[in-house]
Amino acid sequence: MLSLVAWAADPAPKDTTASNPLGGKAAPPAAAAKAPPGQPRQITWEELVPKDWDPAKEFKGMDLSALNDGDPRANELLMKMQEVSNNAPTNPAMNGADIKIPGFIVPLEEAKGEVTEFLLVPYFGACIHTPPPPANQILHVVTPKGAKFRAMDTVWVTGKLQTLRNDSMMGVSGYHVNATSVTKYTGGAK
C-alpha cells in the first residue's frame, strides 16, 4: 500500500508507524530543535503526547488471550480502548505554538475540488482503513485557501497549534491548526 504514496524520487519508505510516521524519513533530531526567530518550529508527533501518558495502564494485567472474538467482554474491552484513545490528553505546552509538521491528509470538507478542512494523521491509512489514532495524534486542520490534495497525500502543515478537541466522522482530534500553508511533503524540512 505504501508504494502508492508519492515520495519524490526516493525509493519506497519503510513501513509507517505511530512512532515512525514518515516511514524512516523523519527529519534528523536537530531539525526539530529551535526554529529561527519568526519561523515555525518543526515538531514531531511524539511532542504532542504528554510524557506521563500511558494508554495501556488501564489494561495491564489483563489476559487478552482468554477472550474470543465473539465474547461480549472482548467487545466491551474494544469499546473501552477506543474511549481511552478518544480521550487521550494533549500536551498543554504545545498550545499556541507556531509549528510545522508532516503527516497524511484525511479530507473532511472540499470546495471546488480543493480540500478546505481535513485531519492530519501520523501514518498512512489512519482513520480510513483502521481505527483512528489517539486524539493527541490527530490534528484538525482548516485552511483559508483550498489545498489541491487527496486522501492520504503526504504534506507539511504550518500554522498555530491549539489544544482544541473536535469530533468528526473520521476520528476525534485533540489539536486544531489554522493552517497558514499546506505544501507537498518532499522529505526533510524546507
- Residue by residue, DSSP assigns 69-126 as TT-HHHHHHHHHHHHHHHTPPP-GGGTT-EEEEEEEEEEEEEETTEEEEEEEESSTTT
Residue 127 has pLDDT above 90, yes or no: no
C-alpha cell at 62: 489483563
> Considering the domain boundaries, does residue 189 fall inside one?
no
Domain containing residue 20: CATH number: 2.40.50.870
Do 101 and 120 contact (CB within 8 A), yes or no?
Answer: yes
Statement: residue 96 has pLDDT above 50: yes
Q: What is the pLDDT of residue 27?
A: 40
More confident residue, 181 or 145: 181
Boundaries of domain holding 66: 57-86
Looking at residue 13, its pLDDT comes to: 38
The rounded distance, in Å, linking the Cα atoms of 151 and 108 is 10
123 near 138, Cβ under 8 Å?
no
- Domain identity same for 122 and 160: yes
Domain tally, the chain: 2
> Do residue 169 and residue 125 come from a single domain?
yes
Residues 158 and 170 in one domain: yes
Residue 121 inside a domain? The answer is yes
DSSP annotation of 161 reads E
Question: Are 72 and 23 in a shared domain?
Answer: no
- Is the pTM value of this prediction over 0.95? no
User: Do 71 and 94 lie in a common domain?
Assistant: no
Do 14 and 99 fall into the same domain? yes
Q: Is the pLDDT of residue 92 over 70?
A: yes
pLDDT, one tens digit per residue, over 36-89 is: 778 999 999 999 999 999 998 888 888 888 888 888 988 888 889 999 999 999
